[in-house]
């Protein structure tokens, strides 16, 4: 790296579940989330009305150091390993899906920027108060080389959490002579991530989705903005300039933790809200006699499916964490399983949401936690990480039909 400060920034290999800021030992991320969860739940309705998280929610996340969850320790972060991160984010999503979405997306964007940017760029962004970074990593931008950087232009949709962001994590391809450059190893265009100050983008007022309304994930455009090469990194980078072995996960791995946590947390909240409807003084009239028996059969099945996929998720991530603790890169099969878990957890919770909405009767159509969870889960299920093409690629590798290939972002290359 060539800079003493960058060398000092490297973390130790073995990570504990406790985190440190200087010499002060802090409680675990899970314990800190439990303390703020009531606030996140109470603010959910107001956030949805505003189309963004409330200031009280943001302050609660800061107080619990959620914006430090995946930052390198040299920037005052926690470098939280997968198991603790998965459980902490799951609890946030259980309290409020939109808050959880912003938390996991912003930490993905911040962590990868802090780890993979040049030491000088990372210090500029992260040496003070933890910056919030949001955006869309799909390579929708065109970057034309210009001196020691690039002129970036493009239009991006669904910029996760950008209304709360200080910087954008935004994807693009480098163009030469009007054509994207090709990676000779994959025969595909090389995807890059550009870290851009939010002031250099135009945010659109178009957040009109079915769910996740409090995330403030509007579309945005960038027009010929210069980005120094120090503020860029490969989409699939997994060798950090700052931080330790956590960052071997790269963008896909950290993303998989976040999206799995989202599905598990919202799925559990949905079943709890459905249980509350059934315990009400006047439960839906069809929850009696044969109809109650039908409901009970479906509820037990939903409970078993959610617990099963959660057990699968923690099993897969325990195995991956062991590899990280040894300083090993992920195997192809581990990359397959973490993507398979995202897909299965998302489809399972989306199915549970549909079941709950149907059996809650008219109450599910009114404003409230159950309706919001239904909309949030159906919206989150549309994300590309849980799409059928990714599931098909997982199956291809599980069937040993991908010899000589490795995982890119969402496909085998």
| Whole-angstrom distance, CA of residue 300 vs CA of residue 85 | 28
What are the residues whose beta carbons fall under 8 Å from the beta carbon of 176, sequence distance 6 or more? Answer: 145
Strand partners, 111: none
114 or 26: whose pLDDT is higher? 114
Query: According to DSSP H, which parts of 241-288 are helical?
Result: 250-279
Give the whole-angstrom CA distance, residue 303 versus residue 305: 6
Q: How far apart are CA 184 and CA 397, in angstroms?
A: 22
Q: Alpha-carbon dihedral of residues 260, 206, 222, 75, nearest 10 degrees?
A: -40
Does the 133-234 domain belong in CATH 2.40.110.10?
yes
pTM recorded for the entire structure:
0.93
Angle between helices 97-116 and 55-63 (to 10 degrees): 50
pLDDT of residue 293: 84
Q: Name the CATH code of domain 13-126 (choices 1.10.10.60, 3.30.300.30, 3.40.50.1100, 1.10.540.10).
A: 1.10.540.10
**349 to 252, 302, 381: CA distances (angstroms):** 21, 9, 9
Distance CA 117, CA 286 (A): 58
Query: What pLDDT does 58 receive?
Result: 98
pLDDT band at 115 (very low <50, low <70, confident <90, very high): very high
- Alpha carbons 287 and 289: distance in angstroms, whole number: 7
What's the CA gap between 66 and 110, in Å, rounded?
11
Region 245-398: CATH code: 1.20.140.10
- Band (pLDDT 50/70/90 cuts) for residue 27 is confident
Closest CA to 94 of 160, 38, 18: 38
Q: How far is CA 135 from CA 155, 164, 165, 178, 189, in A?
A: 11, 10, 8, 25, 21
Q: How confident is the model at residue 205 (pLDDT cuts 50, 70, 90)?
A: confident
Given a cut of 90, whether residue 141 has pLDDT beyond it is yes
Higher local confidence (pLDDT), 178 or 105: 105
DSSP letter (8 states) at residue 10: P
Place of tokens 């109470």: 42
Give the start-to-end residue ranges of the domains of the chain.
13-126, 133-234, 245-398
Cβ distance 170 to 197 under 8 Å? no
What pLDDT was estimated at residue 15? 39
**Helix pair 97-116, 82-95: axis angle to 10 deg:** 150
Query: 116 versus 8: which is more confidently predicted?
Result: 116
What are the E-state strand segments in 57-136? 133-134
The torsion of the CA quartet 57, 63, 68, 70, rounded to 10 degrees, works out to: -60
User: Is 136:159 a contact under the CB 8 Å cutoff?
Assistant: yes
Mean pLDDT computed over 148-162: 97
Residue 160 per-residue DSSP state: B
Q: What is the mean pLDDT of the chain?
A: 91
Contact between 236 and 250 under an 8 Å Cβ cutoff? The reply is yes
Q: What is the pLDDT of residues 170-190, one digit of tens each?
A: 999 999 999 999 988 778 888
Q: Are 212 and 379 in contact (CB under 8 A)?
A: yes
């Amino acid at each position: 790296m060539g800079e003493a400060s960058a060398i000092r920034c490297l973390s130790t290999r073995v990570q504990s579940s406790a985190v440190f800021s200087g010499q002060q030992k802090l409680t675990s991320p899970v314990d800190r989330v439990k303390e703020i969860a009531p606030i996140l739940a109470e603010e959910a309705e107001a956030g949805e009305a505003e189309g963004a998280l409330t200031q009280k929610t943001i302050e609660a996340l800061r107080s619990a150091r959620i914006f430090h969850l995946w930052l390198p320790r040299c920037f005052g972060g926690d470098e939280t390993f997968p198991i603790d991160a998965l459980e902490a984010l799951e609890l946030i999503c259980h309290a409020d899906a939109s808050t959880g979405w912003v938390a996991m997306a912003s930490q993905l964007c911040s962590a990868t920027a802090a780890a993979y940017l040049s030491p000088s760029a990372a210090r500029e962004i992260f040496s003070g108060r933890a910056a919030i970074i949001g955006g869309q990593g799909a390579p929708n931008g065109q970057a034309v080389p210009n001196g020691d950087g690039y002129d970036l232009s493009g239009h991006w949709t669904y910029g996760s959490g950008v209304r709360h962001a200080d910087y954008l994590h935004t994807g693009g391809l480098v163009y030469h002579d009007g054509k994207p450059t090709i990676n000779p190893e994959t025969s595909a265009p090389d995807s890059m991530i550009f870290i851009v100050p939010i002031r250099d983008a135009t945010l659109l007022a178009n957040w009109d989705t079915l769910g996740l309304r409090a995330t403030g994930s509007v579309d945005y455009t960038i027009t010929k903005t210069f980005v120094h090469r120090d503020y860029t990194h490969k989409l699939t980078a997994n060798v950090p300039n700052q931080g330790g072995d956590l960052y071997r996960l790269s963008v896909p791995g950290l993303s998989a933790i976040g999206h799995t946590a989202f599905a598990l947390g919202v799925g559990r909240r949905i079943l709890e809200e459905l249980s509350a409807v059934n315990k009400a003084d006047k439960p839906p009239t069809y929850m009696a006699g044969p109809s109650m028996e039908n409901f009970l059969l479906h509820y037990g099945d939903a409970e078993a499916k959610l617990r099963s996929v959660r057990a699968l998720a923690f099993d897969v991530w325990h195995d991956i964490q062991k590899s990280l603790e040894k300083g090993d890169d992920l195997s192809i099969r581990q990359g397959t399983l973490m993507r398979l878990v995202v897909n299965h957890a998302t489809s399972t919770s989306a199915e549970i949401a549909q079941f709950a909405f149907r059996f809650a009767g008219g109450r599910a159509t009114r404003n409230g936690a159950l309706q919001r969870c239904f909309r949030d889960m159906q919206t989150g299920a549309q994300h590309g990480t849980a799409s059928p093409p990714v599931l098909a690629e997982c199956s291809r590798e599980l069937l040993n039909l991908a010899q000589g290939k490795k995982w890119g972002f969402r496909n085998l290359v």
